[in-house]
Structure 1
């Protein structure tokens, strides 16, 4: 379906993000050059590019998301809201989101990821992540990168994913 790769430092600061979206026959890439984000895509033999200026909020991509949550765990557990920009390669831009801890079942921690833009919040429901107290990711409910076939087109997919940890601990 798709492959996502990110180059980042040990603090999960993103330098490059590449996505091969096999369902759409599309390859997209974002690079960070100073405070500039440069987007490139190739689909059906057509190349596109775009540029965005990175502001003061942290930049997060799919492969660095868990590390970002891990690095902000104490703030989230203290009830603070953590804001960031999320790279959406399909749109060749970043979108503002915020994370916050919400009500959850016993022995679980639920983190909500919600768009900061009112307009985008009308299009994208909040995404909910469930963790164990030891920071192990258990599940995700909401928008995911794979698409779903609807007639002759591909549509965004909202799903419920269950995770099984195979590593003894996150770095």
Structure 2
């Protein structure tokens, strides 16, 4: 069960902003976020994501910091903007030593993963097809399928799970419309397609403000970083804070 709860790492680190395409040059943007307690709103971690669109690819670099502004987690993801095929992905945690390295070549995806810094890497190669996705592209998936999701249709796909060295069938669907800090939002849930696995996977929800280009405002689910020694603690990640970085 512990391994399935690590799924939050793939979800709450998803890219939440999209840089505008540029003609003949790189486009970039930066946004900040906070990870907080759902009840007290105490902020545990802060961070920012830098997005660069170059050619046919999008690069998203994400950095997490603790209260002392010490970096505790970083990600670097590059994927094809049209197909959402993950080209390369790296994540490293200075708290646990967990490390993931992904690279696609043709229709193959090579995964290297270790749960701790002093552990040897475990490796495998999976097939990558048109319905295979990484959690870093969930925002693109939801926005592209917005109308169908609002009509009650399920978005089904194979989700890459590096910590398990495999991919599994998952689905995203709309659950309700609610109010978040005075703003109307649409709520979408992520869960395994296999109903037996749903009891093992923590609840995860995305909160979006509707519009011409819907904006992710909050993710609710397990923390990607241990909090006061507690793993998988339910947190809220608040997105859309304007960043002053460049």
Gaps (5+ residues) in structure 2?
1-71
Are residues 58 and 50 of structure 1, via their aligned partners in 2, closer, same or farther at CA, if it must alter by over 3 Å? Answer: closer
TM-score, with normalisation over the residues of structure 2? 0.59
Counterpart in the other structure of 1:145? 224
| Preserved contact between residue 19 and residue 89 of structure 1 (Cα < 8 Å) | no
1:52 paired residue number: 126
Listed one character per residue, the Cα deviations across residues 28-64 of structure 1 (whole Å, up to 9, x for unaligned) are 11122233221113531522211222355231233x2
Whether 1:5 aligns to 2:41 is: no
CA positional deviation for 1:155:
2.8
**Residue 152 (structure 2) aligns with:** 79
Tell me how far 1:8 sits from its aligned partner. 0.7
Gaps of 5+ in 1: none
Deviation, structure 1 residue 148: 3.8
Flag the structure with larger Rg: 2
Distance, in Å, in 2 between the alignment partners of 1:100 and 1:121 is 14
Aligned residue in 2 for 1:19: 91
Q: Is the 8 A contact 1:98 1:116 kept in 2?
A: yes
| Secondary structure in structure 2 of the residue aligned to 1:145 | coil
Q: Distance in 2 between matches of 1:119 and 1:37?
A: 27
The count of corresponding residues between Structure 1 and Structure 2 is 163
| 1:87-120 per-position Cα deviation (integer Å, ceiling 9, x unaligned) | 3332232232111111222632111111112343
- Residue 120 and residue 54 in structure 1: after superposition, are their counterparts in 2 closer, same or farther (change >3 A)? farther
By relative contact order (CA 8 Å, sep 6+), the higher-ranking structure is: 2
TM-score (normalizing by structure 1) = 0.81
Q: Distance in 2 between matches of 1:6 and 1:89?
A: 14
RMSD of equivalent CA atoms: 2.3
Residues 95 and 149 of structure 1: CA distance in aligned 2, closer, same or farther (over 3 Å)? farther
Alignment pair present for 1:68 and 2:147: no
**1:14 touches 1:61 (CA, 8 Å); kept in 2?**
no
